[in-house]
C-alpha cells in the first residue's frame, strides 16, 4: 500500500535532519533540536522529508528509518544528473542558498522538495518523457513521493513509449581499415597543444616538452618485437593529460586510427572525459570521437533490468529498478559504476539489487538477447571501433589482450597512472581456485539448482534445444553437466567446516583449510589466514590429484562442446535460426574464457607435490571477515606480473606511453620504473622523459613527523587526529592502513568535530560510495575525510578543500606470502623501502594539485626512518615535532592561508630532519 500523504503540500510535511552534532526536526512551528528517541518515534509515526535515509538511520542508530528521501525524488525528476548529496549541494541544484547551520538545513528540506516538485509543471523540463509511467508504477509499489508527484505531473496526451523503444540502436558497419603509417612531428604536436589549450593559456614549458616527447609513441614501430615505448614521469601541475592528448588526437585524425587511453581509477576516467571537450567542443562530434570503455560488470544489463521491472524484484529493490530504468533512458552510456548514474543512488537501497542489474556472472547471451541492438555494452564496443580516443582502464586493456576478444588489439596505448601497472597486471594474470569461484563455474554450466525467479539459466538449459539437433554436441553437453556436478554446490562451506565434504573439489578445499589452520601464524580472529604452498603433506597431495582428475574430466567435454558449436556455426544447418545462432555464439565466447580458467586451475594443481615453479608464488588461504569464514582456496600469482604484461599487451602494440607523476616511485631511479612497467622484459629499449612539477613545494608545503604519539595507543591517535583537524579548520584527508583503526578513530572524534562545525566523513563507515564521499569532501571546505589506500591514489581535490593530509603510520606492505616472496627476490628491505616511498609520494601528491594550493603533510609515526623522506619533493621542509608543536604549526599555517599571506619557512625547528 502507498503511504497516505493525501494532497498535502511538501511545505507542511515535517523534515528530519541528523548529523554527528545533533538531530533537528522542522515542522510548522519551525526547526528545533530533538532527542534521538523522539526522532525515531516521530519518523516511525509520520513520514518525514529526509536527505539520504540510510545515513540518517545511521546517525539515529536506527537502521529501518524511512520517509520521503529527497535524493530519490531528485533521481526521478533529473535522471542522469549529479548533485552533491548534502543539503547545501541539493540547495544549489535547485537554485536556493545554502543553509547557515544545521537548524537552517532542517528547515530548508521542505523548500528543496517544493522546488523539485515545481519542476514537474515547468514546460522546459527536459526529462519529462517517461516520468508519468514510472511514477504510476512507483505509486503501486508504495513509494511515498508518488502521490505528491502525481498531483503535479500531467498525464501525457499520448501514451509514453516503452523504455526499451526509446533507447537508440547501434548499426553494423564495415571494419575500420588499418591506420596509415605516418610520423607526428614534434612541432605539430606543440601546435595542436596550443590549439586545444587556447590562445590565452599560459605556455607551460614542461607540457610542451611532454607533448613533443610523446610523439615517439605515434611514429612507425622501429623493431618487430617491441613497441615504441616511452616512460614519462611528469610532475603534478605539468598538464600531462593535454600533453599526451595533443599528439594522440593529431595522430588519430591524420592516420585514421584509435588511441586507447588507459587509467587505473574511475576518477581519472571522468577527468579525461572532461578534458576531451577541449579537443571536440561539439557534443555530437565528441560522442562519435570519444568513447569510454569499461568491463561488462560496470554496465546496466537491459535483460536483467527487464526482469526486474517485470517482477523479479520486490519491495525497495523494485523501487530502485524503476529509478534505474528512468536513468537508463537518459544515460550517455549505461555505466552504473562511475558513469552518470549518481553514485549515491544504489547506496540508498543498500543491498537491494543494484549488482543484479549488471552482468557480473558472465551469462550474457549476446545476439540472443531481445535488447542486443540497444545494449549499452555492445554499443560502446562498436563505437570504440570508429572512435579516435577510447578511454579505458588497465584491467580492461589487459583482460581484452589476454582473452583475445578484439579482432584488432589496440595499436597505440597511453597508460596514465602508470605506477599502477604492476598492481593491475598482478590482479589480471592471477589464478584463484576457491570455493566461490568453483561454485560459480558449476552454476554457469548446470544453472540454479533451486527454484529461482528471473531468466538465469545454466549452459545446459541455454543450449539444450540447439544440441538436440547435434548428437555429438548433446553428448558433450551431457558429459560437461555430469562432470560439473562434482564441483562444490550450495552449502559447500558448511560441509567442509563440519568435516563432511562432498566430491573431489570440496575434499581438496577441506585439506587446504586443515593445512592453513595447522601452519598459519596466529593472527587476529577477524582476519584471514594463509600459508605458502610448500612441503604439502600426503593427504593434500592426494586430494590435489583427485581434484585435478575432476577438472580434467570437466575440461574435456567443454572443449569438445566448443568445437562442436563452432562446427555448427560453420555448417549453418537449416534449423539454426537467429535465436539459436545467438545462443551458440554466446556459449562459444563463454566457453573460451572459462576454458582458460580451467587450464590455469589444472596447471596449479599439477604442481602440488612436485618441484615449485620459480616464476610463480603459490599459497593456500582461508578468507574471513569479522571472524566469519567465507571462502577457501589455492592462489597463484606471477612473481613478476610485468612479464605476462609485456608479452600479452606491450609487445603486441605499435606504441605505448606509460606516464605518472610518481613513475619512479618517489626518488628512485629509472631501473625501478622499467621493472614496474614491464619495459625490462622487452627486447627494445624504452625512451625516457621527465619533467619536474612547476610548483614551489618548499613554499607551498611542509612535512611534519609527529614524535610523541605512541603506536597502538588508539585514544592518543584519535586525539591527534581531532586536534590536527581542528587546527586546520577541516580540509583534512586522513589516511589509514587498517580499517579497524579508521573506524575506531572516527567513532571517538566525529561528534566532537561536528559540534565545532567540522563534518567528518569516513570510508567504510558512512553508507556512501567512495566517489560520492570525495565529492562531498571537495564541496565543503570545512569537511574532513578518513579513508584507506583507495583515497591515497587518484583523489583530485584541488584548492581550499584539501589543506592537510594526515597519515596514521608508515604504509609498510602487509606481510603476506606473496609479499615475502617478492621482497626476497627484490632485495629485502630495499624492496619494502621502494614500495613505501612510492606510497608516500602518492599520498603527498594529494596535497598540492594546482598553483596556489598550500598545505601540510603529517605522519603520526615517531619511528619514520629518515631514508624514506626522499619520497617527498626536493626542498620541502621535513620537521620532527611533538604533537603540541605540530598542532600549533598547522594552526599557524591555516591562519595565514585564511589571511591569504605566504607562510615564511624560517629556521628549522630543533630536531628537524630534512
Span 436-449, average pLDDT: 87
Q: What is the DSSP string of 324-392?
A: HHHHHTT-SS-BSSSSSS-THHHHTTTTSSSGGGB--SS---GGGSTTGGG-HHHHHHHHHHH-SEEEE
Whether residue 629 is predicted with pLDDT greater than 50 in this model: the reply is: yes
CA distances from 96 to 15, 32, 80, 112, 525 (A): 17, 21, 21, 8, 51
Single pTM value for the model: 0.90
Q: pLDDT tier at 526 (50, 70, 90 boundaries)?
A: low
At 170, the pLDDT band (50, 70, 90 cuts) reads: confident
pLDDT tens digits along 720-747 = 999 999 999 999 999 999 999 999 999 9
Please compute the mean of the pLDDT values over residues 142-161 and round it to a whole number.
Answer: 89
CA–CA gap between residue 591 and residue 263 (Å, rounded): 29
| 705 DSSP β-pair partners | 859, 880
Overall average pLDDT of the 107-130 stretch: 94
pLDDT of residue 522: 60
pLDDT higher than threshold 60 for residue 886 = yes
pLDDT band for position 667 (cuts 50, 70, 90): low
DSSP 177: P
The conformational region for residue 802 under phi > 0 = left, psi -120 to 50 = alpha, else beta, is beta
The whole-angstrom separation of Cα 48 and Cα 69 is: 8
Rounded mean pLDDT of 362-367?
A: 68
| Confidence (pLDDT) at 454 | 46
Q: What is the pLDDT of residue 199?
A: 63
Mean residue pLDDT of the chain comes to 88
The yes-or-no verdict on residue 272 having pLDDT over 80 is yes
Q: Write down the pLDDT at residue 865.
A: 93
Query: Is residue 646 over pLDDT 90?
Result: yes
pLDDT of residue 773: 93
pLDDT in the model for residue 1: 33
What local confidence, expressed as pLDDT, does residue 523 receive?
55
pLDDT at 314: 86
Lowest mean pLDDT among 110-124, 456-470, 809-823: 456-470
Alpha helices, H only, 498-537? 503-519
Average pLDDT, integer, range 257-284:
90
**CA 161 – CA 306 distance, rounded (Å):** 15
The topology (CATH level 3) of 697-898 is: Rossmann fold (3.40.50)
Confidence band (pLDDT; 50, 70, 90) for 355?
confident
* pLDDT band of 443, cuts 50, 70, 90: confident
Tell me which architecture the domain covering 191-299+359-429+641-691 has in CATH. 3-Layer(aba) Sandwich (3.40)
pLDDT tens-place string over residues 3-25: 333 333 457 899 999 999 999 99
Q: Which of 44-53, 581-590, 654-663, 699-708 is predicted with the least confidence, judged by mean pLDDT?
A: 581-590
Give mean pLDDT, residues 226-240: 93
Percent of the chain surpassing pLDDT 70: 93
- pLDDT score of 590: 80
Which band of pLDDT confidence, cut at 50, 70 and 90, is reported for residue 462?
confident
Predicted pLDDT at 906? 35
Query: In angstroms, rounded to a whole number, what is the distance separating the alpha carbons of residues 421 and 674?
Result: 11
Greater pLDDT, 312 or 216: 216
Name the pairing type of β-strands 804-807 and 855-859: parallel
pLDDT(904) > 60? no
pLDDT higher for 172 or 764? 764
With a CB cutoff of 8 Å and minimum separation 6, the contacts of 245 are: 196, 261, 272, 275, 276, 279, 389
Q: Do the domains 697-898 and 191-299+359-429+641-691 match in fold?
A: yes
- pLDDT of 900: 61
Task: Categorize the per-residue pLDDT at 901 as very low, low, confident or very high, splitting at 50, 70 and 90.
Answer: very low
pLDDT at 914 over 50: no
**pLDDT greater than 80 at residue 352:** no
Q: What is the mean pLDDT of residues 394-410?
A: 74
End-to-end CA distance of the chain: 68
> Which candidate, 245, 274, 275, places its Cα nearest to that of 261?
245
Domain residue spans of the chain: 10-160+302-347, 191-299+359-429+641-691, 431-638, 697-898
- Assess whether pLDDT exceeds 80 at residue 347: yes
Report the pLDDT averaged over residues 771-798: 88
Which tops the pLDDT comparison, 266 or 697? Answer: 697
Alpha-carbon span 505 to 514, nearest angstrom? 14
Q: Contact 292/334 with Cβ under 8 angstroms? A: no
Q: Please tell me the predicted confidence (pLDDT) of residue 188.
A: 96
| pLDDT of amino acid 295 | 85
> In this model, does residue 169 exceed pLDDT 60?
yes
Q: What backbone torsions phi and psi does residue 69 show, to the nearest 5 degrees?
A: -80, 120
Amino acid at each position: 500500500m502507498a503511504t497516505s500523504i493525501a494532497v498535502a503540500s511538501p511545505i507542511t510535511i515535517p523534515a528530519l535532519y541528523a548529523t554527528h552534532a545533533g538531530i533537528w526536526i522542522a515542522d510548522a512551528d519551525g526547526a528545533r533540536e530533538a532527542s534521538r528517541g523522539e526522532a525515531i518515534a516521530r519518523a516511525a509515526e509520520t513520514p518525514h522529508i529526509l536527505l539520504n535515509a540510510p545515513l540518517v538511520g545511521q546517525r539515529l542508530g536506527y537502521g529501518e528509518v524511512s520517509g520521503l528521501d529527497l535524493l530519490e525524488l531528485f533521481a526521478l525528476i533529473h535522471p542522469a544528473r549529479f548533485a552533491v548529496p548534502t543539503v547545501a549541494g541539493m540547495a544549489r541544484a535547485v537554485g536556493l542558498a545554502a543553509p547557515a547551520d544545521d537548524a537552517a538545513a532542517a528547515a530548508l528540506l521542505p523548500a528543496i522538495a517544493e522546488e523539485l516538485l515545481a519542476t514537474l509543471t515547468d514546460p522546459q523540463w527536459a526529462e519529462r518523457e517517461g516520468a508519468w509511467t514510472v511514477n504510476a508504477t512507483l505509486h503501486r509499489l508504495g513509494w511515498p513521493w508518488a502521490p505528491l508527484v502525481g498531483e503535479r505531473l500531467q498525464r501525457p496526451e499520448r501514451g509514453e513509449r516503452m523504455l526499451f523503444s526509446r533507447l537508440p540502436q547501434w548499426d553494423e558497419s564495415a571494419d575500420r581499415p588499418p591506420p596509415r603509417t605516418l610520423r607526428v612531428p614534434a612541432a605539430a604536436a606543440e601546435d595542436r597543444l596550443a590549439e586545444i589549450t587556447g590562445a590565452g593559456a599560459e605556455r607551460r614549458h614542461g607540457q610542451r616538452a611532454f607533448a613533443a616527447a610523446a610523439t615517439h609513441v605515434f611514429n612507425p614501430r622501429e623493431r618487430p618485437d617491441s613497441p615504441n615505448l616511452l616512460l614519462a614521469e611528469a610532475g603534478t601541475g605539468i598538464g600531462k593529460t593535454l600533453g599526451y592528448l595533443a599528439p594522440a588526437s593529431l595522430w588519430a585524425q591524420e592516420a585514421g586510427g584509435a588511441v586507447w587511453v588507459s587509467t587505473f581509477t574511475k576518477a581519472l576516467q571522468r577527468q579525461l572525459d572532461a578534458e576531451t571537450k577541449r579537443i571536440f567542443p561539439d557534443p555530437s562530434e565528441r560522442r562519435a570521437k570519444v568513447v569510454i570503455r569499461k568491463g561488462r560488470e560496470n554496465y546496466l544489463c537491459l535483460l536483467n533490468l527487464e526482469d526486474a521491472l517485470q517482477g523479479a524484484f520486490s519491495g525497495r529493490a523494485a523501487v530502485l529498478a524503476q529509478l534505474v530504468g528512468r536513468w537508463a533512458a537518459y544515460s550517455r552510456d549505461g555505466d552504473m559504476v562511475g558513469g552518470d548514474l549518481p553514485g549515491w543512488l544504489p547506496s540508498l537501497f543498500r543491498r537491494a539489487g543494484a549488482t543484479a542489474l549488471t552482468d557480473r556472472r558472465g551469462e550474457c547471451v549476446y545476439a540472443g538477447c531481445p535488447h542486443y541492438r540497444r545494449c549499452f555494452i555492445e554499443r560502446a564496443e562498436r563505437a570504440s571501433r570508429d572512435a579516435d580516443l577510447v578511454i579505458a582502464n588497465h584491467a580492461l586493456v589487459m583482460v581484452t589482450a589476454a582473452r583475445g576478444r578484439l579482432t584488432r588489439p589496440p595499436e597505440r596505448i597511453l597508460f596514465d597512472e602508470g605506477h599502477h601497472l604492476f598492481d593491475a597486471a598482478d590482479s589480471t594474470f592471477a589464478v584463484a581456485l576457491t570455493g566461490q569461484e568453483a561454485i560459480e563455474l558449476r552454476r554457469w554450466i548446470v544453472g540454479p539448482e533451486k527454484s529461482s525467479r528471473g531468466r538465469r539459466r545454466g549452459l545446459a538449459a541455454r543450449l539444450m534445444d540447439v544440441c538436440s539437433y547435434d548428437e555429438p554436441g548433446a553428448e558433450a553437453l551431457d558429459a560437461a553437466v555430469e562432470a560439473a556436478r562434482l564441483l562444490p554446490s550450495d552449502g559447500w562451506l558448511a560441509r567442509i567446516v563440519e568435516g563432511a565434504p562432498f566430491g573431489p573439489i570440496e575434499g581438496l578445499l577441506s585439506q587446504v583449510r586443515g593445512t592453513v589452520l595447522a601452519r598459519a601464524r596466529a593472527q587476529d580472529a577477524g582476519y584471514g589466514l594463509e600459508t605458502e604452498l610448500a612441503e604439502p603433506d600426503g593427504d593434500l597431495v592426494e586430494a590435489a590429484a583427485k581434484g585435478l582428475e575432476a577438472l580434467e574430466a570437466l575440461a574435456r567435454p567443454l572443449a569438445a562442446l566448443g568445437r562442436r558449436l563452432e562446427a555448427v556455426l560453420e555448417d549453418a544447418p537449416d534449423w539454426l535460426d537467429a535465436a539459436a545462432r545467438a545462443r551458440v555464439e554466446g556459449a562459444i565466447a563463454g566457453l573460451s574464457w572459462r576454458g582458460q580458467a580451467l587450464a590455469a586451475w589444472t596447471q596449479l594443481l599439477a604442481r602440488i607435490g612436485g618441484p615449485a615453479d620459480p616464476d610463480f608464488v603459490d599459497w593456500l588461504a582461508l578468507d574471513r571477515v569479522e571472524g566469519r569464514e567465507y571462502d577457501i582456496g589455492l592462489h597463484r600469482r606471477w612473481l613478476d606480473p610485468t612479464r605476462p604484461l609485456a608479452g600479452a599487451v606491450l609487445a603486441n602494440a605499435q606504441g605505448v606511453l606509460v606516464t605518472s607523476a610518481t613513475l619512479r616511485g618517489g626518488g628512485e631511479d629509472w631501473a625501478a620504473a622499467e621493472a614496474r612497467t614491464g619495459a625490462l622484459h622487452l627486447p627494445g629499449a624504452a625512451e625516457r622523459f621527465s619533467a619536474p612539477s612547476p610548483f614551489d613545494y618548499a613554499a607551498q608545503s611542509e612535512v611534519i613527523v609527529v614524535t610523541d604519539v605512541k603506536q597502538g595507543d588508539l585514544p592518543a591517535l584519535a586525539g591527534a587526529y581531532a586536534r590536527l583537524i581542528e587546527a586546520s579548520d577541516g580540509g583534512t584527508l586522513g589516511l589509514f592502513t587498517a580499517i579497524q583503526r579508521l573506524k575506531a578513530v572516527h567513532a571517538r572524534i566525529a561528534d566532537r568535530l561536528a559540534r565545532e562545525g567540522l563534518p567528518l566523513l569516513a570510508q567504510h563507515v558512512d553508507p556512501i560510495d567512495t566517489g560520492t564521499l570525495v565529492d562531498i569532501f571537495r564541496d565543503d571546505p570545512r569537511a574532513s575525510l578518513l579513508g584507506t589506500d583507495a583515497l591515497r591514489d587518484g583523489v583530485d581535490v584541488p584548492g581550499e578543500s584539501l589543506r592537510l593530509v594526515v597519515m596514521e603510520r608508515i604504509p609498510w606492505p602487509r606481510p603476506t606470502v606473496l609479499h615475502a616472496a617478492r621482497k626476497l627476490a627484490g632485495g629485502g628491505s630495499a624492496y619494502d623501502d621502494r614500495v613505501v616511498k612510492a606510497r608516500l609520494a602518492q599520498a603527498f601528491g594529494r596535497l598540492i594539485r594546482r598553483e596556489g594550493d598550500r598545505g601540510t603533510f603529517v605522519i603520526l609515526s615517531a619511528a619514520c626512518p629518515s631514508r624514506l623522506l626522499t619520497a617527498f619533493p626536493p626542498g620541502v621542509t621535513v620537521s620532527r615535532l611533538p604533537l603540541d608543536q605540530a598542532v600549533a604549526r598547522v594552526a599557524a599555517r591555516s591562519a595565514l592561508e585564511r589571511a591569504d599571506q605566504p607562510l615564511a619557512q624560517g629556521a628549522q625547528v630543533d630536531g628537524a630532519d630534512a
